[in-house]
Amino acid sequence: MQDILALLAGNTLTRLVFFPAVACLPLPFFPRGSARAVKIYTLVVSLIELALALALVGANLAAGGGGFPAVRDPRFLWISGYGIRYDLRLDGISMPLSVLAILLVPIVVLGSWRGIERHWQAYAAALLLMTTGVLGALMAFDLFLFYVFWEVMLVPMYLLIGIWGGERRIYAAIKFFLFTMAGSLLMLVAILWLAWTYKGASGGAWSFAYQDLLRLDLPAHAQMWLFVAFAAAFLIKVPMFPFHTWLPDAHVEAPTGGSVLLAGILLKLGTYGYLRFAMPLFPKASHAALPLLIALALIGILYGAMVSWVQTDAKKLVAYSSIAHLGFVMLGLLAADLVAWKGALLQMVNHGLSTGALFLLVGMLYDRRHTKQFDEFGGLAKVMPVFAFFLVFSSLASVGLPALNGFAGEFLILAGSFRALGWPAAVATFGVVLAALYLLKLIQRILFGPLTKDENRGLADLGWREVVALVPLCVLMLWIGVVPADFLKPSEQALAATLADYRERLSGPEVRQATLRAPRALPRAPDQPLTAGPAAPGPAIPQAAAAGARGAPPTSPAARTAYRPVLLTGIVLPVAPQAPRPRLHVETAGESEAARRAGGPR
């Protein structure tokens, strides 16, 4: 307990994760009828959290020369008998998603100012507790701790839908809960099996530490069953076809703030989990499942776009569009290519910005007209010009107009996927065309044409609070579209290190029983920033890892078979010279095994 309190008092990841939860404590003491005070308090708390995040990230970006080195809190044993550790770490993969999650909270508070009329204390508590759950899941590097945070973020969203949702809110909330809980339980069984297997292979020492479990070499059949359990949890969360049926109901019935957070960050936990855990832990199983998963990603892209096209409800259109957009993200991850991975991570952020803005705009319109049907609108550009500007801007960003954020992400995904996978990327490009069709339909049916409904003639345009909520999203959409390198560089080293380790493990020999590989350093990321201190001694990087990072073809027949999709396209990935290890809370991906296994405060 003393360790946690000490971490909460410092400039740490723990403070960033738990500050929103601690800020919930005064909420029950607000008197009844003090909704305005609760709104202001929640907004101030969310802005303080954003300031803390920007200060932490900015300091490490400055020290890293634009790259983002891994940042970690001191580790300690949480449940010592089973080797469960409290271990939080932020790297270039989780950092953009963490900042996005924190950014969306004050925007949701502003966007809900008018739409939520009751139980503001409970609504604010749900938002803040969900923030803690999301941040913890993104930063946890112990799989048991990850699972705890994974479940923590489920309950607040269930309450947001069930209490503040639409007419069918109970049905949508229960469906959301059952789908996600089913996948979560499968993942829990797989996590426990992994830790038990590690205990047998290590001579009796339990561990749920991510980097310890990476050392396990598993037989093919065991990998496949474990991969299915992990992938089910993550693919339901994305969601991928055919696990998507809970999403439209949840989006349509959720309040505006719930839809923004669901689309903006909760769905990304599925793609993040697949990249962080499913592929590195089970490389051969994930590779064997490629044909099926690529087919499901393509179906999701085309099916989501076509179903969006035929919708008569604006919110349902935006909801189904998420299936198509995240299908692109999954295709990029399946390509196992650095360019595609960079595009996939960028597109996770892009989707949160543009789709979050679209849900906000639909919600603002619903607050005025209490309907989302296209037949009730038309010609609103004449009476709501500011609303029209933001709707057109956000829609074009979602389409992928050059100079806006969607273009950069989709281009990188398609370019990397084409050289790694070939024709699936060509098929996916039809999804871009269909996106233009359904989003231009959204613009045309709401904004243009004659004003046929008298109720629309007196609609008030966006107020200053609503404009303030939308401007940061639009600024980021433009910034990412014009200068995408500013948002790609911080993640490059972490993605390259993960990809190198994945390729090395993929090319390793088959085993008949679970074994534990010899301790070694993880592959270092290229362009590791030099912050301070001499380089820490550690084992050399295996030749296979270096070759994997460069994309060089392996020499053994087994490795050539494992790399076949990559070899067909001749991927070449650059590797920069290694740099010294930073001090204290900033660490490289090549941390020594002794430091990883110590488990105590550093």
Q: Which residues face 394 on adjacent strands?
A: none
Residue range 535-593, pLDDT digits in tens? 333 333 333 333 444 343 344 444 433 333 332 233 333 333 444 333 334 454 444 34
Q: Is 432 a domain residue?
A: yes
State the DSSP H helix or E strand holding residue 216, giving kind and residue range, or none if neither: strand 216-217
Residue range 79-91, pLDDT digits in tens? 888 889 999 999 9
- Which residue type occupies 302? L
Burial class (CB in 10 A: 0-12, 13-18, 19+), 376: middle
Q: Of 180, 316, 329, whose CA–CA distance to 243 is shortest?
A: 180
The answer to whether the beta carbons of residues 291 and 352 sit under 8 Å apart is no
The answer to whether the beta carbons of residues 380 and 456 sit under 8 Å apart is yes
What percent of the chain has a predicted confidence (pLDDT) above 90? 61
Residue 22 has pLDDT above 90, yes or no: yes
Q: Is 446 a domain residue?
A: yes
Tell me which DSSP letter residue 265 carries. I
**In whole numbers, what is the pLDDT of the chain averaged over residues?**
84
Higher pLDDT, 387 or 202: 387
Q: Is 407 a domain residue?
A: yes
Q: Is 361 a domain residue?
A: yes
Q: What is the pLDDT of residue 216?
A: 87
DSSP 49-115: HHHHHHHHHHHHHHHTTTS--EEEPPPEEEEGGGTEEE-BEE-TTHHHHHHHHHHHHHHHHHHTTTT
Q: Is 441 a domain residue?
A: yes
Q: What is the pLDDT of residue 342?
A: 94
Residue range 416-442, pLDDT digits in tens? 999 989 899 999 999 999 999 999 999
Q: Is 71 a domain residue?
A: no
Cα distances from 80 to residues 204, 262, 599, in angstroms, run 13, 35, 10
What percent of the chain has a predicted confidence (pLDDT) above 70? 85
- Distance, C-alpha 493 to centroid of its chain: 18
Q: Is 171 a domain residue?
A: no
The CA distance from 327 to 207, in Å, is 34
Q: What is the pLDDT of residue 573?
A: 37
- Distance, C-alpha 602 to centroid of its chain: 28
CA angle 99, 343, 152 (to 5 degrees): 40
Q: Is 319 a domain residue?
A: yes
Based on the structure, what is the number of domains in the chain?
1
The CA distance from 300 to 306, in Å, is 10
Residue 81: count of CB within 10 angstroms of its CB = 7
The CA distance from 139 to 416, in Å, is 27
Domain that holds residue 407: 290-482
Tell me which DSSP letter residue 449 carries. S
Kindly indicate the confidence band of residue 323, based on its pLDDT and cuts at 50, 70 and 90.
Answer: very high
Average pLDDT in the 449-470 region?
A: 89
Average pLDDT in the 215-236 region?
A: 92
Q: What is the pLDDT of residue 1?
A: 62
| Residues in CB range of 240: below 8 A, 6 or more apart | 293, 296, 297, 300, 323, 326, 327, 330
